[in-house]
Chains A and B, each alone.
Chain A
Amino acid sequence: MLTGKHTWVFNNRPVILSTGVTGGPFEANGHLADDFDILHDDLYMGKETYEKAHQFLLEEAVGKVMEKRQMTKDDIQFFLAGDLINQITPSSFAASTHGIPYLGLFGACSTSMEGLALSAFIVNYDGAEYVITGASSHNAAVEKQFRYPTEYGGQKPPTAQWTVTGAGAALVGKNKGQDENHPCITSATIGKVIDMGLSDPFNMGGAMAPAAADTIIKHLQDLKLEPDHYDLIVTGDLGRIGQKAALDYMEQQGVKLDPQKFRDCGLMIYTEDQEVFSGASGPGCSAAVFYGHLLKRMKQGEFKRILVVATGALLSPLSFQQGQSIPCIAHAVAVEYKNT
């Protein structure tokens, strides 16, 4: 049901029945290694190209989702996924492997929540019983497309971010009185594209922060909520710069968030020793951290209500070379878990 201007409230409370999270070698050395279902020790993962490895990450994540529920592809009605690579081929090729009717999404790093919001909408209104949604990225494949060759010795500035090699997928299903056992998706806010005129492709967090702030403010306004309604408001990949900028920007707009309850997936996944500059990024970042790590902590009773705000920078290598600024977007999904 549309509530306020741009927010859906899901009265039937679709549930996240299972998740699958895969990652690469850098993630295996990271902070959240225990929260991944499958970790690879090689960036190629036994494939000939990085792009095929990228596809494989998502295939495995989706496979894991079905395996955990002992389901087959015939039980799933739709598959919604996206990534950063040209024409989202890794997602489409993975959809071809699994043979589930597929909708390809592009929201850059906001794809994870774009997919979850749409899946919840479809399930909430009886469009499907089971939908799988996923997002993925592969560091070397993304670097190749957006920046320089992997082995090129260019110096990155401290504002840069590190693209996650990983995939996260979730099975969204109808709520058959399963509130007690599974996290429910309660609402979602669709963000608008915001361009603050920043044009440095090595500072995505700073460019994306206003989009995250705008979506959070809109979500709270639409649902007439105070920020402390959520135990945690977590952004996708704002990194160090974007997180602080978003907090300040929201304060300017009159919304004050508790910095302790405002976290960023891009600052959770790696350890302090790993050289990732301002933090992690990529569609696989928010997908892996939320589906792998945060849902686990919810199930352990640490958080009851989380608002996940995945942020995306909608640029292409061509657009920034032509001197265009970086338009950004953020989508928010609220998840609740009543385990007590």
Chain B
Amino acid sequence: MPKKNLNPEQQKYQQLQKQHELKRPVLMNCIRAFWVGGLICMIGQAITYFYIYFFNFTEQTAGNPTVATLIFIVMLLTGFGIYDHLGQFGGAGSAVPVTGFGNAVISAAIEHRSEGYVLGVGGNIFKLAGSVIVFGTFSAFVVALIKTIIGMIGG
């Protein structure tokens, strides 16, 4: 990003600073993300089977109650102050599954309740998750458009 127009003194200092900067433990983070993310997905799979075997859901319809259950669990974990520690440990592993999305929404709601329900909770609940929704919807639209066009040309 704003790396442009550095004067020689700034460049010299940044080089010096780089030597002391602590690096992110990328490999360790990847391993942790793999396990944490995998564990969350495994729990999700177990919940799906639970709904299929004990209730009248099929593999296609069990998705919705599974997501709702996971988000309910995350709501409790966020409210009790556990999920942020899991996030620090698991990184992308706990951020990418639906639980990460739930945590982003719920934590913002908790944080801003001091400003009231309308301007605080209502106005800020999608502060972090909003961009996921905006760009998620937009990219789905683009992909659908491409699929339709290819279908029309090819078909």
Contact = CB atoms under 8 A, between A and B. Distances in A.
A binds B: yes
> 6 smallest A-B Cβ distances: which pairs?
A153-B87, A149-B111, A151-B107, A158-B22, A149-B107, A155-B91
A152 B6 contact: no
A14 interface: no
Interface stretch (A32-40, A99-107, A202-210): A202-210
Contacts of B114: 48-51
A1 to B, nearest CB: 32
Interface of A: 48-51, 144, 148-159, 195-199, 203, 206, 209-210, 240-241, 244-245, 248-249, 252, 275, 278, 323-325
A153 B111 contact: no
A245 B2 contact: no
A148 B78 CA distance: 14
Given A152-B87, A157-B24, 10 more contacts: A144-B111, A150-B110, A151-B79, A152-B107, A153-B87, A153-B103, A154-B95, A196-B17, A197-B2, A275-B88
B22 A278 contact: yes
A203 B152 CA distance: 51
A149 B84 CA distance: 10
Contacts of B13: 196, 210, 245, 249
Contact of A241 (B22, B83, B90, B91): B22
Contact of A240 (B22, B87, B100, B128): B22
Nearest to B12: A252
Contact of B6 (A50, A197, A210): A197
B16 A249 contact: yes
Contacts of A155: 29, 87-88, 90-92, 95
Contact of A152 (B12, B24, B128): B128
A49 B100 CA distance: 25
Contact of B83 (A153, A240, A244, A323): A153
Contacts of B106: 151
Interface of B: 1-3, 6, 9-10, 12-14, 16-17, 19-25, 29, 78-79, 81, 83-88, 90-92, 94-95, 100, 103-104, 106-108, 110-112, 114, 127-128
Contact of A150 (B9, B90, B91, B111): B111
Given A148-B107, A155-B88, A323 B2 contact: yes
A276 B9 CA distance: 31
User: Is chain B's interface secondary structure helix, strand, loop, or mixed overall?
Assistant: helix
Contact of B111 (A151, A198, A209): A151
Contact of A149 (B21, B23, B29, B128): B128
B1 to A, nearest CB: 5
Contacts of B12: 252
Q: Which of B10, B12, B17 has most A Cβ within 10 Å?
A: B17
A86 B116 CA distance: 18
Given A196-B10, A278-B22, A152 B84 contact: yes
A163 to B, nearest CB: 15
A153 B100 contact: yes
A197 B107 contact: no
B107 A150 contact: yes
B128 A245 contact: no
Most chain B CB within a 10 A radius of its CB, from A148, A209, A244, A324 = A148
A148 B2 CA distance: 22
A248 B15 CA distance: 11
Interface centre among B2, B14, B110, B112 (most CB of A within 10 A): B2
A196 B9 CA distance: 8
B2 A199 contact: yes
18 contacts: A48-B114, A149-B110, A151-B79, A151-B84, A151-B103, A151-B107, A151-B110, A152-B87, A153-B100, A155-B88, A155-B90, A158-B25, A159-B21, A195-B10, A198-B14, A240-B20, A244-B20, A252-B12
